[in-house]
Amino acid sequence: GIQTCPIVNNSGELQNNVLDALAQAAEAKGHSVNRFQHADCVGFDISIIWNGLYNWEVAYRKENPQQRFLFAELGWCPQKPCFQLDPLGVNAFASWAREQINTKLYVPIVTKLDKIDLLVVLQDDADTQIYTPWLSPMFRNMAEWLCWLAETLPEYHLRIRAHPNHPMSAQAQQIVQNTRNMRLDDSPNMAEAIDESIAMLSINSSSGIEGLQKGLPIIAFGRSVFSSVVNAGYYVFIQKEPREYTRNA
């Protein structure tokens, strides 16, 4: 059984490109494939679903404890045409994502010449990476996070980069406009935004991988696929004093 994602506001096409390709590959291997949009069909040998964290999917999984699942998601760096299939979940839930990776490289945050900005990467408020508490233990939306940052880091330059496909909420926009040390990032792409920054602040955005690839330190406020890489970043969400830890970082 392979899910078909509904197309809503131009969302779903990338997901279906992956799922359709998986269906074609399975049929080419001689498997019988059924497609479904929601949990309207059960009894598959394996059910392949997108993400697995949406409310209906969580209910579907609980109601069918014997069902074997594979969880599909877009890849990283580059996001397309890459994808991942995993038996346990997506992002930090993936089977390999909690295996500790030790590195000898440690990149401290150092102000270099005129580069003094901290790059704050926003996500979609409705993203499962944000409303799933284990992935985002500290914040439920971007406005809440921006307000916390404004109170915690008033003396730093915070350059706010909005999600390319999901506009900021009115509340988040107002916080940026009314906060003296915040401004919107107008870089044409993420690569240039990274190059103009001394560190990236992210909850668990996959863009953090692009930052790490370029040697940019990350201050992370949630769990992601890079959380298990020792010394890859500063993990705020596990600290007893998150404000003090963030300032020290």
Distance (Å, whole) CA 127 – CA 166 = 10
pLDDT for res 10: 67
* Cα–Cα separations (whole angstroms), residue 246 to 137, 146, 182, 201: 15, 14, 17, 10
Is 128 in contact with 54 (CB distance < 8 Å)? yes
pLDDT of residue 135: 96
| HSE (side-chain half, CA atoms, 13 Å) at 5 | 22
**pLDDT tens, the chain, 249 aa long:** 999 998 887 678 889 999 999 999 999 999 999 999 886 667 799 999 999 999 999 999 998 889 999 999 998 888 778 899 999 999 999 999 888 887 766 556 565 556 689 999 999 999 999 999 999 999 999 999 999 999 999 999 999 999 988 899 999 999 999 999 999 999 999 999 999 999 999 999 989 989 988 888 899 999 998 888 777 789 999 999 999 999 998
What is the pLDDT at residue 229?
Answer: 79
State how beta strands 83-86 and 69-74 pair: antiparallel
Strands of 122-187, DSSP E: 157-161, 182-184
Per-residue confidence (pLDDT) for residue 197, from 0 to 100? 92
Q: Could you give the 3-state DSSP secondary structure of residue 231?
A: coil
Beta-carbon count within 10 A of 109 CB: 14
- Supply the pLDDT for residue 111: 57
Give Cα separations from 29 to 25, 44, 73, 84, 110 (angstroms). 6, 16, 22, 19, 53
Confidence at residue 234, expressed as pLDDT on a 0 to 100 scale? 92
Gap between the Cα atoms of 48 and 59, Å rounded: 15
Provide the β-strand partners of residue 158. 118, 182
pTM: 0.89
- Check residue 11 and give its pLDDT: 77
Q: How far is Cα 170 from Cα 172, in angstroms, rounded to an integer?
A: 5
Token look-up 């598959």 returns 44
